[in-house]
């Protein structure tokens, strides 16, 4: 989700909207958005209805969270692309931007590839984001 944040303006320029779905309550999602500098909406699915319906529920972790996924829905509400992903495999924002740009230009495009992600690099990005945006710690 945070990987798409720096490209949000590029998505908007193509006429696309980005949204994320989380099982967290709205206040937690809002705090995460602020901490990570995410401008796009993070929708709350606290009852896990959407992620269960889409087959994305990871029931084994933290009482049930969403498996990472990327879904592109067009203005006619047709799913143009979907990819259930893992921690180390995601569709990069640049690939999704290229896919959307091609669809807009010619009406169809080859599906964007799911790329391997280096978990160590993801950790380093998270640490960088923590230094850049600060970390909020709840005190009891």
pLDDT tens digits, residue range 13-24?
A: 988 888 888 899
Domains (range + CATH), the chain: 2-133 (3.40.30.10)
Assigned token pair, 66: 């969403």
Mean pLDDT, rounded, for 25-46: 90
**In this model, does residue 49 exceed pLDDT 90?**
yes
Q: Average pLDDT, whole number, for the chain?
A: 79
Higher pLDDT: 130 or 71? It is 71
**In the block, residue with structure tokens 């203005």:** 75
Query: Comparing 123 with 79, which gets the higher pLDDT?
Result: 79
Predicted TM-score of the model (pTM): 0.66
Question: In degrees to the nearest 10, what's the CA dihedral of 54, 44, 82, 90?
Answer: -120
Compute the average pLDDT of residues 78-107. Answer: 79
Mean pLDDT over residues 38-52, rounded?
Answer: 91
Q: Is the pLDDT of residue 134 over 80?
A: no
What is the pLDDT averaged over residues 123-129? 63
Query: Cα torsion at 123, 135, 11, 117 (round to 10°)?
Result: 10
Report d(CA 35, CA 24) in Å as an integer: 15
């Amino acid at each position: 989700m945070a990987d798409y944040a720096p490209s949000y303006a590029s998505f908007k320029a193509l006429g696309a909207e980005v949204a994320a779905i989380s099982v967290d309550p709205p206040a937690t999602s809002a705090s995460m958005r602020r901490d990570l500098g995410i401008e796009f909406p993070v929708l709350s699915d606290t009852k896990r209805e959407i992620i269960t319906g889409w087959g994305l529920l990871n029931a084994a972790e933290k009482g049930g969270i969403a498996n990472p996924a990327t879904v592109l829905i067009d203005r006619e509400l047709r799913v143009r692309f979907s990819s259930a992903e893992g921690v180390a495999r995601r569709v990069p924002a640049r690939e999704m931007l290229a896919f959307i740009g091609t669809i807009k230009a010619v009406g169809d495009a080859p599906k964007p590839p799911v790329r391997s992600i280096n978990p160590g690099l993801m950790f380093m990005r998270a640490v960088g984001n923590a230094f850049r945006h600060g970390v909020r710690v709840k005190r009891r």
